Amino acid sequence: MTVTFHGVRGSTPCHGHETHHYGGNTSCVSVRTANDVPIVFDLGTGVRYFGKQCNGTTPLRIVCLLTHLHYDHTLGLPFFEPLLRSETTLEIYAPKQPDGRTIRELFREKIKPPMFPVPLEQFAARIEFHEIGDDDFTIGNYSVRSRFVPHIGPTLGFRLGYDGASVTYLSDHQQPVGDTFSIGDGARELCEDVDLLIHDSQFTDEEFAMKQSWGHSTYAYARWVAETCRAKQLALFHHDPSRTDEMLTELTDQIACSTKVGVFAAREGQSVLVGA
């Protein structure tokens, strides 16, 4: 599997020389293999760049595994160029909502005038929605595991398996509040023995002390999850928009020096090969 980071920020896009190296687009990560359908985790503003890579492929079928509906994970959808073509099919797997509203309804409410010039149903592509929860299923030759994880609102994490290799995407994950780290059963089922763990690392310990209920994790907690679940590699992800390149490199070095897990900070445009 080739895992490519198209957007690595949380909360809001950012821009400027201080964030240029790691990039300013919000959450979007694609997974490709030689023969199977491309999979994309989340539809943050990074999905525009994934869309450019898809240009020229017709017909095009893409599967999106969407963690939740916060803007930083959905804002890129109407800017995803393949949606302008009738030969495109986009299948979106997203968390079912406790109030019974469908994901299609919720996107239709967001993507229409006056909030957006074109209503969702006028895009040429076919968009299909699948509402899921704690599930295990297959897409082509991929095995997919989805589990609800603690965040703000219904939120999924995903584990993708392919030909003996595995990648887990745990973008927004509320760290337990208090002195002791722990992990819920669902998140553990996603992370155990995974080859690449992409994990929320929005806050430093000092920031978390001020923002304990904002739904996110610290660098230290991401490291602890990776170690506890025996992940082989940890990609620090969902960088805070205020995190400069210099700070992020320094924090990553500190974490990498203190663990046997391979650690790197996800960077826009970076590709990682997982498995054969």
Contacts to Zn ion by CB under 5 A: 10, 70, 72, 172
When the beta carbons of 150 and 275 are compared against Zn ion, the nearer one is: 150
Determine the Cα–Cα distance for residues 272 and 276; give it in Å rounded to an integer: 12
- DSSP three-state, residue 77: helix
Nearest-approach distance from CB 269 to Zn ion, in angstroms:
20
Residue 30, token pair as written in the block? 């694609």
Nearest-approach distance from CB 121 to Zn ion, in angstroms:
26
Q: Which residues pair with 7 in a beta bridge?
A: 28
Are the beta carbons of 204 and 218 closer than 8 angstroms? yes
When the beta carbons of 72 and 268 are compared against Zn ion, the nearer one is: 72
When the beta carbons of 27 and 88 are compared against Zn ion, the nearer one is: 27
Nearest-approach distance from CB 67 to Zn ion, in angstroms:
8
When the beta carbons of 153 and 262 are compared against Zn ion, the nearer one is: 153
Nearest-approach distance from CB 245 to Zn ion, in angstroms:
20
Nearest-approach distance from CB 70 to Zn ion, in angstroms:
4
Burial of 193 (0-12, 13-18, 19+ CB in 10 A): exposed
Cα distances from 119 to residues 78, 112, 144, 244, in angstroms, run: 9, 4, 31, 36
Cα distances from 237 to residues 22, 37, 46, 227, in angstroms, run: 10, 24, 13, 16
When the beta carbons of 172 and 268 are compared against Zn ion, the nearer one is: 172
Q: What is the bridge-based pairing of β-strands 39-41 and 88-95? A: unpaired
- DSSP three-state, residue 246: helix
